[in-house]
Amino acid sequence: MSRFLLYLNTIRFLKLKQVCYQIYYRFRKLRLTTTGACEIRGVLRNLSSQSYIYSPTQDAQTFHFLGLTATLQGNWNSNQLPKLWLYNLHYHDFLNSRGEILSEALSKKIVSDWILANPPLVGVGWEPYCISLRAVNWVKWLSRLKPEEINPDWVESLASQVDALNQQLEHHILANHLFANAKALVFAGVFFGGERGDYWLKKGLHLLDQELSEQFLTDGAHYERSPMYHAILLWDLADLICLQRCSHLSDRRGAGWQQVFISGMEWLKWMVHPDQKISFFNDATFGISPTLEDLQKYAAHLYLDIPSTTYNKIIHGELLVDSGYAVVDWESNHRLIADVALVGPDYQPGHAHADTLSCELSLFGQRVFVNSGISQYGEDAERHRQRSTAAHNTLEVDGEDSSEVWAGFRVARRARPIDISMQQEYGNVVLSAGHDGYQRLPGKVTHHRCWLAKPTSLTITDELEGRYSSAFAYWHIHPDIKLSQLSDTSFELALPQGQVALLSITGAQVNVCESTWHPGFGQSVSNTKLALKLHSHTLKTHIEWSSD
């Protein structure tokens, strides 16, 4: 019965279209229709797109992805390698990497080898998301070649891949997957001419028009609320703007893409720490998405002006209302980023974590409180732990997660934020919010959190309403911070550049635990976690520092 309810509380949030496509794709057999010579539209010449990915190979045989190095040996679908590693192999980002790229001869060889080793509709490489990323990479690469250098086999294979993609667009997943599908159709439609090219272009543009208005919120955020995927989709938009500039696509549509991109860049600037790298909310880690700097360089390449953010205050608060994040900035290079958001769109929370009301804090440009990040995908216990409430700087009741995350990418009942407010007065910023994720428990518990930011201190007050047996709050400390215990409930935090902050706890028994922080796929770095066992309904965490 418990398992049944978990499935029921997951499926009930889906769109009917998702369920129908799930069933349809399970029984439908693909049948390729594009064979023979394919017409090239011929409007792309030296597409001047950018890259943020360094080549994972120097010889087109040994590849390094996600912290793992492996030799290809002609097998593109080895069951000895993680599936996500194989996905990265099949994306073919190395055809357009930054810095030292593969030689022209090696690039041509690896494309030909892929065609021979991956017959139509066989293997990981023919899954729709893989096709989407690879098709864009092939179009970019082919646009750099002279017409007489292009092997007809490459063109025919690309057409077959796009045909396969068109038959399995990810309407059952939606979100960033469907956006990637649409982008690939547009790139293919601009590259190919004739009836097929026109069809793919029209279909891709129609999908993009739909998905842009749905997936990007009014404050600029991508609706999955993952800074990592947000940055990836901004890169997709920059690619589309670049494509529009050198093709026959309308200026009106290009102007719309630019507007969404610029708004998205403004949101991303709020969601990075003073080190200019992304915060870890929902699925997020380093090394997968472009950095803010990468995106700023692409914007400059496209002559897009991203407004600067300035304010003349010692302390400033910003509430990103539509996406549900809040930021407090101090003039001394401190930043608090707080999650008062939905876990994601109701029908696709696949990249969501049980992190409602969590926060991250940097002091003097150095990360201090950090959510744990991610080091892997999959459906094992470690993936579940990294998505759990206990892996974030928030509060867990009766051993339960605030949202029912399960499997690798599923969420059943989920927390919803309530009573969100931000006030700025007397040189202070007060942010408060609650969530109803624990209302599903017998004691009908509600969690409220208030952040009081003053010029040289931050006080975080947690309150629980309702009945419960136990409650724990967690503070995960960045690995570069040296933690020294001064008393049972007070600590000194020594920053790498010599600054010191004092941390004190009221309302809980404090246990110092070993934990791990995950700044990249395949990476687990030892760090310290404070586990605070509440002995009252109110918990106060106070951190203060000097002004210099």
448-461 b/e with 16+ CB inside 10 Å = b?
bbbbbbbebebbbb
Q: What is the pLDDT of residues 422-472, one digit of tens each?
A: 999 888 999 999 999 999 999 999 999 999 999 999 999 999 999 999 999
When pLDDT is cut at 50, 70 and 90, the band that residue 73 belongs to is confident
Q: What is the pLDDT of residues 240-293, one digit of tens each?
A: 999 999 887 888 899 999 999 999 999 999 999 999 999 999 999 999 999 999
User: What is the percent of the chain where pLDDT is above 90?
Assistant: 87
* pLDDT value for 82: 93
* pLDDT value for 33: 82
Highest mean pLDDT among 97-111, 295-309, 381-395: 381-395
Q: What's the average model confidence in pLDDT over 344-353? A: 97
* pLDDT value for 441: 97
* pLDDT value for 74: 86
The predicted model scores a pTM of 0.96
Considering only residues 262 and 102, tell me which one the structure prediction assigns the higher pLDDT.
Answer: 262
* pLDDT value for 1: 67
Mean pLDDT of the chain: 95
Say whether pLDDT at 311 is over 80. no
Beta pairing class for 359-363 and 366-369: antiparallel
Strands (E), 301-456: 315-320, 325-330, 334-339, 359-363, 366-369, 395-397, 405-406, 410-411, 417-425, 428-435, 446-454
Say whether pLDDT at 310 is over 80. no
Identify residue 241 by its one-letter amino acid code.
Answer: I
* pLDDT value for 36: 61
* pLDDT value for 332: 87
Considering only residues 312 and 457, tell me which one the structure prediction assigns the higher pLDDT.
Answer: 457
Q: What is the pLDDT of residues 489-547, one digit of tens each?
A: 999 999 999 999 999 999 999 999 999 999 999 999 999 999 999 999 999 999 999 97
459 near 540, Cβ under 8 Å? Answer: yes
The three-class DSSP label of residue 266 is helix
Q: What is the pLDDT of residues 131-161, one digit of tens each?
A: 999 999 999 999 999 989 999 999 999 999 9
Q: How far apart are CA 46 and CA 386, in angstroms?
A: 42
Q: Positive or negative, the Cα torsion across 529, 530, 534, 539?
A: negative
User: What is the percent of the chain where pLDDT is above 70?
Assistant: 99
Q: What is the pLDDT of residues 17-45, one digit of tens each?
A: 999 999 999 998 898 986 566 788 877 87
Say whether pLDDT at 227 is over 80. yes
Q: What's the average model confidence in pLDDT over 180-205? A: 95
Q: Which helix (H) or strand (E) holds 490?
A: strand 490-494
Q: How far apart are CA 119 and CA 26, in angstroms?
A: 21
Dihedral, CA of residue 141, residue 146, residue 152 and residue 154, to nearest 10: -10
The alpha carbon of 346 is separated from its chain's Cα centroid by a whole number of angstroms, namely: 17
Q: How far apart are CA 491 and CA 504, in angstroms?
A: 6
Q: How far apart are CA 405 and CA 383, in angstroms?
A: 10
Q: Nearest 5°: CA angle at 474, between 471 and 479?
A: 165
Where on the phi/psi map is residue 144: left (φ > 0), alpha (ψ -120 to 50), or beta?
A: alpha
* pLDDT value for 530: 98
When pLDDT is cut at 50, 70 and 90, the band that residue 308 belongs to is confident
Of 64, 191, 208, residue with least CA distance to 140: 191
When pLDDT is cut at 50, 70 and 90, the band that residue 303 belongs to is very high
The alpha carbon of 174 is separated from its chain's Cα centroid by a whole number of angstroms, namely: 15
* pLDDT value for 99: 76
Domains and CATH numbers, the chain: 39-215 (no CATH), 315-545 (2.70.98.70)
* pLDDT value for 237: 98
* pLDDT value for 425: 86
* pLDDT value for 188: 96
